[in-house]
Amino acid sequence: MAGTKTGTKNVLHMVRRSDMNRGKALVIRLIAVLLSLSVCALVIVAITGENPLSVYSGIAAGAVGTSRRVWVTIREIAVLLIIAVGLTPAFRMRFWNLGAEGQILIGGAATAAVMIYLGPVFQDWLLFIIILAVSMAAGMLWGLLPAVFKAYFNTNETLFTLMMNYVAMQIVTFFVVLWEKPKGSNTVGVINQTGKEGWFPQIAGQQYLVNVILVTVVTILVFVYMKYSKQGYELSVVGESYDTARYAGIDVKHVIIRTMLISSAVCGLAGAIIVAGASHTISTSTAGGRGFTAVIVAWLAQFHPVAMIATSGILVFMQQGAIQIATQYGLNENASDIITGIILFFLVGAEFFIRYRLELTKVETGSAVGENK
């Protein structure tokens, strides 16, 4: 023992939790949300030098300050939610559809095309139905390709769907030039501004109520499909193991393609909701990264619909708030990205603490340092 320094020191260990229940998990997530809000405020205060309370009220005002802002926030939540819902069947099948961005764009482009070319021809109710059908079909087309290649040649769907995003972006660039209005502006401008042909109808004077209803219906349908249908059961077996699926007598190829068609159809529909239900224009930033944000929303919520509403809710709330702060204190549009980043950091971190806990253990020092060979 002589010559060995002894003493004690504390070491940290990661210990897997076994005592986690829903209530505790919820508390941890709430703490994470509170922490993220405080850090967001700190960052903004550090930049602007303003009183944190006024920063908070600025965020709240930006998100829910006026009835119009409330509706914009709801509209954005609905869009993020439906994309996350669309991703759910594919993800449950462990088909990593990172192509929501492209599926949204192509669905949006199809919607814009219907509005421009068929807007003057058909009645509003017919246009509405055509838009829903065409946008879903366009999304499906974008999902069909990677699904077929995955099913028949086992190609990597992550790269394939990701690449399809760029193809969609180029196609939209082409149409932006084609539909440019006014000439030389390099934008499409608001489509059918005067007649509002193809715009989603107003219900009870609310412009975005149709969006909300559509998203609610789709969300319920998808979750009933996932939970109670034979097809939903099949896709979760396929997600677990192709061998088990074959053993169960499931046609794996068929299920991959069918599930991806559903997933991409919903994402295409999201494109229609953005174009015909919100912005009434099309550009390469129509999807605006929401195809990727939705991946995180779906994951964090572990595909649970109510949790998805909560996650997309807090993200959108802070983003909308950030837009307000940015104008109020002269920050640029990146402020919103920073805030999203901070929130996600804490939410993802919370998942770690739900699964593990850190423990301090006292150990003897010096003793582990045995004689080196």
Structure tokens that stand for 15 in this block: 């210990």
Q: Is residue 153 involved in binding another protein (CB under 8 A)?
A: no
Contact call for residues 372 and 13 (beta carbons, < 8 A): no
To another protein, the closest distance from the beta carbon of 345 in angstroms equals: 27
**Residue 372 near another protein by CB under 8 A:** yes
Minimum CB separation from another protein for residue 349, in Å? 22
Residue 153 has φ and ψ, to the nearest 5°, of -120, 5
Q: Does 230 bind another protein (CB under 8 A)?
A: yes
Query: How many beta carbons lie within 10 A of that of residue 141, not counting itself?
Result: 18
Q: How many CA within 13 A on the CB side of residue 95?
A: 39
122: helix, strand or coil = coil
363 is a site residue for another protein (CB under 8 A): yes
Beta carbons of 132 and 115 less than 8 angstroms apart: no
Instruction: Please report whether residue 361 would count as binding another protein according to CB under 8 A.
Output: yes
Give the count of residues interacting with another protein (CB under 8 A): 37
CB of 19 to another protein, least distance (A): 7
Q: Which is nearer to another protein, 174 or 355 (CB)?
A: 355
Query: In whole angstroms, what is the distance from residue 283 CA to residue 173 CA?
Result: 7
What is the identity of the amino acid at 332?
A: N
Among 244, 285, 327, 334, binds another protein (CB under 8 A): 244
**Omega prior to 182 cis, within 30 of 0:** yes
Element (H, E) at 42: helix 22-48
Closer of 101 and 234 to another protein (Cβ) = 234
Indicate which single residue of 187, 192, 236, 284 sits in contact with another protein (rule: CB under 8 A).
Answer: 236
Contact 236, 303 (CB under 8 A): no
Strands 8-16 and 356-364 come out as: antiparallel
Q: Which residue's CB is nearer to another protein, number 156 or number 244?
A: 244
Which of these ranges, 56-64, 68-76, 195-203, 226-234, lies near another protein under the rule CB under 8 A? 226-234
Contact segment (CB under 8 A) with another protein among 96-104, 142-150, 206-214, 241-249 equals 241-249
- Compare residues 3 and 184 and give the one whose CB is closer to another protein: 3
Number of residues that this document lists for the chain: 373
355 counts as binding another protein under rule CB under 8 A = no
Helix (H) or strand (E) holding 171: helix 157-179
Locate 197 and state its tokens.
Answer: 């042909």
Among 185, 206, 246, 352, interactor with another protein by CB under 8 A: 246
Residue 373 makes contact with another protein by CB under 8 A: yes
Do 98 and 111 form a contact (C-beta atoms < 8 A)? no
What gap in Å lies between CA 320 and CA 79, rounded to an integer?
14
Q: Which two tokens mark 154?
A: 């086992």
Amino acid, single-letter form, for residue 264 = S
Stretch that binds another protein, among 194-202, 278-286, 307-315, 358-366 (CB under 8 A): 358-366
Using the 8-state DSSP alphabet, how is residue 183 labeled?
T
Quote the least distance from Cβ 3 to another protein, whole Å. Answer: 12
- Least Å distance, CB 323 to another protein, is 40
Q: Rule CB under 8 A: say whether 240 interacts with another protein.
A: yes
- Within 9-48, the residues that bind another protein by CB under 8 A are 11, 13, 16-19
Per the structure block, which two tokens stand in for 151? 């099913």
Residues 6+ apart with CB under 8 A from 262: 89, 222, 225
Binding of residue 369 to another protein (CB under 8 A): yes
Q: Kindly state whether residue 237 participates in binding another protein, applying the rule CB under 8 A.
A: yes
Q: Kindly state the smallest distance separating residue 9's Cβ from another protein, in Å.
A: 10
Options 46-54, 197-205, 249-257, 282-290: segment touching another protein (CB under 8 A): 249-257
Binding region for another protein (CB under 8 A) = 1, 4, 11, 13, 16-19, 228-234, 236-237, 240-241, 243-244, 246-251, 361, 363-364, 367-373
